[in-house]
């Protein structure tokens, strides 16, 4: 399995406050990697660094063998990173169809494919995004990222705050993306049980640094208790 | 084909404008036709601005630059044609012209190039800085033209003959109106098409949240620059027609008051509404004509109306009648 994404010794700050102190991570083609840690440990900051929304101070981010240093955020996305940001963040005044159209790039993912993955979006096609339920907005956010035909889908807390039935629907979709489409996925989530159904590997962060990497199946209760508090 | 209410309203307003002119022609009121032509040209300039302001959220106070460039494209070419002197003899001979299609082409290209250059510098800023820089560009052009004696300087340029269009008598008010109305209809169609296109959607998305747009791989700066250039080109065409209507151009076309008036057309009618600038320009010309006869201070009434619209009808007159805008699709 070829390496798609690699972070080596990444450090980053928000102004004077350092948030990352040395993050290492690697994700292979077609693999699902769970990025885990307690609140405030640097998961979302790591995603911002990968997507070039935050410039690292030190370390190296490589995507598909290409050093991402100096790349503008939109060029990073064009390189194949599809981000589903924390908090959904659709284009509220645009309709479902328009949200998807605005992000569209050539490739196998088109509006029909997204509506097959999430039939609810097909039913709400002409509805403005701001009027959708939280779960539907999350589906739209995932759909919009897929419309860019990414090589790596990055899901930041994609199921947070959603009803259990909607969460299940989204986890089923994520599993489908892995098994049926062979998409590489980096997923940040707190649901250990659901992550276990899709993730191949896991990386655990503690105080802005990588403290554990390995196969998801090798996570022991001691490790999860120590770094995740579960 | 089913029409949504915005398109239906656009057709009704355009039909009303056309009917007014046909009525004026039938009753022998050429001045009313000239007023309608003036409104159509202002509306065209407003649609140009609406592409930037309504769709892209770019509050430009420098659109007089493009209006003025379009006007001077006509003025310079026509003045050389009427004096039989070439614009330049080196490196190639360029003669003046009275042909409207050539003048329009030069007006559109030169104003688009100016918009591209100004946009490339100003769109790196946003908010109040963008407003002030576009205003500064307007003033730069204004003072440049004021100090350019070859083309009339502060006094401007008078053109003694109206430029020609094959097969039409452009001195006939209704025939000149027909040209302006055709351009207005095309610009309105262009606006509606752009608004519903993927480009229009990304422009709208850039207005809502730049970071989200970057996250899907689109550079908001480029999208805005294309829209700003298109906006400048349409406004430049309006400037060329306005110069032809008056057969006169002056640095006032570049003034901040002109930029402000174009913004007023859009706000009165409804920012981001396709027919908004047509309604706004129509009302402006109506007030200018009716109240202008009563007092030189008619703008006080315009100011009060503008204030009322900003405070109580954020969607302008179009919003007042049609309600909130429909989703694009």
Q: Chain A residue with minimal CA distance to B222?
A: A74
What value does the mean pLDDT take over residues B273-279? 96
How far does B215 lie from chain A, in Å, by closest CA? 6
Is A102 close to B216, i.e. CB distance below 8 A? yes
Distance CA A205, CA B290 (A): 72
Number of Cβ within a 10 Å radius of residue A69 = 12
> In this complex, how many residue pairs, one in chain A and one in chain B, have their CB atoms less than 8 Å apart?
76
**Alpha-carbon distances of A68 from A59, A197, A211, rounded to whole Å:** 11, 31, 24
Assign A214 to helix, strand or coil.
strand
Residue of A48, A53, A74, A143 to mutate, testing the B interface (most B Cβ within 10 Å of its Cβ): A74
Report chain A residues touching chain B, CB-CB < 8 A. Answer: 51, 53, 72-75, 77-78, 82-83, 85, 89, 91-95, 97-98, 101-105, 125-128, 144-145, 147-148
- B86/B93 Cα distance (integer angstroms): 7
Which residue(s) pair with A10 in the sheet?
Answer: A23
Could you give all domains of chain B from N- to C-terminal order, each with its CATH number?
5-322 (1.10.3470)
- Average predicted confidence (pLDDT) for chain B: 93
Question: Tell me: the pLDDT tens digits for B254-271?
Answer: 999 999 999 999 999 999
* Distance between CA atoms of residues A229 and A221, nearest Å: 10
Cβ count near A223 (within 10 Å): 16
Cα–Cα distance, B212 to B146 (Å, whole number): 44
3-state secondary structure of A187: strand
Q: Cα separation of A219 and B33, whole Å?
A: 82
Give the mutation candidate from B216, B218, B220, B324 for the A interface (greatest A CB count, under 10 A). B216
Nearest Cα of chain A lies from the Cα of B137 at a distance, in angstroms, of: 29
B 309-328 residues with CB below 8 A of A?
A: 327-328
- B201/A102 touch (CB, cutoff 8 Å), yes or no: yes
- Rounded to whole angstroms, how far apart are CA atoms B157 and B151? 6
Chain A hits for B213, CB-CB cut-off 8 Å, are 74, 102
> DSSP for A9-56?
EEEEEETTEEEEEEEEEEEETT-EEEEE-STTSSHHHHHHHHTTSS--
CB contact under 8 A, B216 and A144: yes
pTM: 0.88
Q: CA-CA distance, A62 to B328, in Å (whole number)? A: 39
Provide the sign of the torsion angle of the four alpha carbons B242, B248, B249, B252, taken in this order.
negative
Contact B213 A74 (CB under 8 A): yes
The β-bridge partners of A202 are: A34, A214
Distance CA A223, CA B27 (A): 91
Model pLDDT, residue B90: 85
User: Cβ–Cβ of B216/A77 closer than 8 Å?
Assistant: yes
- The rounded distance, in Å, linking the Cα atoms of B231 and B54 is 11
The answer to whether residue B2 neighbours chain A at the CB level (below 8 Å) is: no
Residues belonging to chain B: 329
Per-residue pLDDT at B329:
43
Q: Which two tokens stand for residue A100?
A: 């998807």
| SS3 per residue for chain B | CCCCHHHHHHHHHHHHHHHHHHHHHHCCCHHHHHHHHHHHHHHHHHHHHHHHHHHCCCCCCCCHHHHHHHHHHHHHHHHHHHHCCCCECCCCCECCCCEHHHHHHHHHHHHHHHHHHHHHHHCCCCHHHHHHHHHHHHHHHHHHHHCCHHHCHHHCEECCCCCEECCECCCCHHHHHHHHHHHHHHHHHHHHHHHHCHHHHHHHHHHHCHHHHHHCCCCHHHHHHHHHHHHHHHHHHHHHHHHHHHCEECHHHHCHHHHHHHHHHHHHHCCCCCCHHHHHHHHHHHHHHHHHHHCCCCHHHHHHHHHHHHHHCCCHHHHHHHCCCCCCC
| Stated length of chain A | 230
Tens digits of pLDDT across chain A (230 residues): 689 999 999 999 999 999 999 999 999 999 999 999 999 999 999 999 999 999 999 999 999 999 999 899 999 999 999 999 887 678 888 999 999 999 999 999 999 999 999 999 999 999 999 999 999 999 999 999 999 999 999 999 888 888 889 999 999 999 999 999 999 999 999 888 899 999 999 999 999 999 999 999 999 989 898 888 76
Domains of chain A: 1-80+190-230 (3.40.50.300)
In this predicted model, what pLDDT tens digit does every residue of B13-48 receive, in sequence order? 999 999 999 999 999 999 999 999 999 999 999 999
**Chain A residues near residue B211 by CB distance under 8 angstroms:** 53, 73
State how far the alpha carbon of B102 is from the alpha carbons of A109, B37, B82, B89, B184, in Å.
46, 21, 15, 19, 19
Residues 206-235 of B with CB under 8 A from A: 208-209, 211-219
A91 CB neighbours in chain B (<8 A) are 204-205, 208-209, 212
Q: Note whether A93 contacts B208, CB cutoff 8 Å.
A: yes
Q: Which among A83, A101, A128 is the nearest to B201, CB-wise? A: A101
Determine, for residues A74 and B202 on separate chains, whether the beta-carbon distance falls below 8 Å. Answer: no
ipTM confidence score: 0.81
Is the model's pLDDT at B188 over the cut of 60? Answer: yes
Nearest CA among B36, B16, B51, B19 for reference residue B277: B51
List of residues 6+ apart from B45 with CB closer than 8 A: B63, B67, B234, B235, B238, B239, B242, B262, B265, B277, B281
State which residue of chain B sits closest to A146, comparing Cα positions: B216
Residue B1 has pLDDT above 60, yes or no: no
**Beta carbons of A128 and B219 less than 8 Å apart:** no
- Judge contact between B272 and B279, C-beta under 8 A: no
Residue in chain A lying closest to B199 (CA) = A102
Q: How far is A24 from chain B (nearest CA, A)?
A: 23
B124 interfacial to chain A (CB closer than 8 Å): no
Q: Do B204 and A93 touch (CB under 8 A)?
A: yes
Sheet holding A201-206, edge to edge: A66-67, A58-63, A3-14, A17-28, A209-215, A201-206, A32-36, A184-188, A152-156, A81-84
- Which 3 state secondary structure label does DSSP give A191? coil
Round to whole Å and give the CA distance between A174 and A183. 9
Residue A185 dihedral angles phi and psi, to the nearest 5°: -135, 135
Residue of chain A nearest B195, judged by CA positions: A98
Take residue A91 and report the two structure tokens written for it: 């284009």
Is the pLDDT reported for residue B175 higher than 50? yes
Tens of pLDDT along A58-81? 999 999 999 999 899 999 999 999
Mutation for testing the B interface, residue in A96, A98, A128, A149 having most B CBs under 10 Å: A98
Q: Which residue has the tokens 């430049």?
A: B236
């Amino acid at each position: 399995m070829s390496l798609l994404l690699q972070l080596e010794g990444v450090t980053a700050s928000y102004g004077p406050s350092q948030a990352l102190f040395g993050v290492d991570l690697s994700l292979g083609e077609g693999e699902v990697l769970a990025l885990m840690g307690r609140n405030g440990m640097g998961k979302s900051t790591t995603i911002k660094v990968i997507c070039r929304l935050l410039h690292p101070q030190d370390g190296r981010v490589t995507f598909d063998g290409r050093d991402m240093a100096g790349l503008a955020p939109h060029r990073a996305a064009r390189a194949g990173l599809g981000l589903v940001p924390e908090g959904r963040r659709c284009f509220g005044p645009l309709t479902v169809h328009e949200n998807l159209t605005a992000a569209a790039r050539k490739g196998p993912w088109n509006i029909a494919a997204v509506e097959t993955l999430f039939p609810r979006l097909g039913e709400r096609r002409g509805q403005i995004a701001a009027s959708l339920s939280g779960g539907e907005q999350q589906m739209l956010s995932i759909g919009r990222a897929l419309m860019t035909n990414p090589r790596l889908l990055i899901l930041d807390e994609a199921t947070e705050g959603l009803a259990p039935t909607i969460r299940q629907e989204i986890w089923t979709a994520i599993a489908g993306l892995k098994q049926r489409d062979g998409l590489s996925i980096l997923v940040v989530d707190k649901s250990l049980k659901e992550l276990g159904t899709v993730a191949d590997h896991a990386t655990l962060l503690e105080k802005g640094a990588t403290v554990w990497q390995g196969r998801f199946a090798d996570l022991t209760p001691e490790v999860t208790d120590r770094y995740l508090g579960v | 084909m089913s029409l949504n209410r915005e398109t239906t309203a656009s057709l009704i307003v355009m039909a009303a404008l056309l009917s007014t002119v046909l009525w004026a022609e039938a009753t022998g009121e050429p001045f009313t036709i000239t007023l309608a032509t003036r409104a159509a040209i202002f509306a065209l300039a407003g649609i140009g601005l609406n592409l930037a302001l309504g769709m892209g959220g770019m509050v430009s106070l420098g659109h007089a630059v493009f209006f003025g460039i379009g006007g001077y494209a006509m003025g310079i070419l026509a003045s050389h044609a009427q004096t039989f002197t070439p614009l330049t003899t080196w490196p190639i001979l360029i003669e003046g012209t009275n042909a409207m299609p050539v003048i329009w082409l030069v007006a559109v290209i030169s104003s688009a190039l100016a918009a591209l250059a100004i946009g490339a510098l100003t769109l790196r800023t946003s908010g109040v800085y963008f407003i002030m820089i576009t205003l500064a560009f307007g003033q730069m052009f204004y003072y440049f033209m004021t100090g350019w004696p070859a083309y009339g300087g502060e006094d401007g340029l008078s053109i003694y003959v109206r430029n020609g269009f094959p097969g039409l008598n452009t001195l006939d008010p209704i025939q000149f109106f027909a040209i302006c109305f055709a351009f207005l209809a095309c610009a309105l169609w262009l606006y509606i098409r752009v608004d519903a296109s993927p480009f229009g959607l990304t422009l709208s998305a850039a207005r809502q949240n730049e970071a989200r747009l970057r996250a899907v791989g689109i550079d908001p700066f480029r999208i805005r620059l294309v829209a700003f250039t298109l906006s400048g080109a349409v406004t430049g065409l309006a400037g060329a027609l306005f110069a032809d209507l008056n057969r006169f151009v002056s640095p006032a076309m570049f003034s901040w008051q002109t930029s402000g008036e174009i913004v007023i057309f859009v706000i009165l009618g409804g920012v981001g509404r396709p027919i908004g600038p047509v309604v706004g320009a129509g009302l402006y010309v109506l007030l200018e004509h009716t109240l202008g006869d009563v007092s030189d201070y008619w703008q006080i009434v315009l100011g009060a109306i503008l204030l009322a619209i900003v405070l109580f009808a954020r969607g302008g007159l179009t919003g007042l009648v049609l309600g909130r805008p429909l989703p694009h699709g």
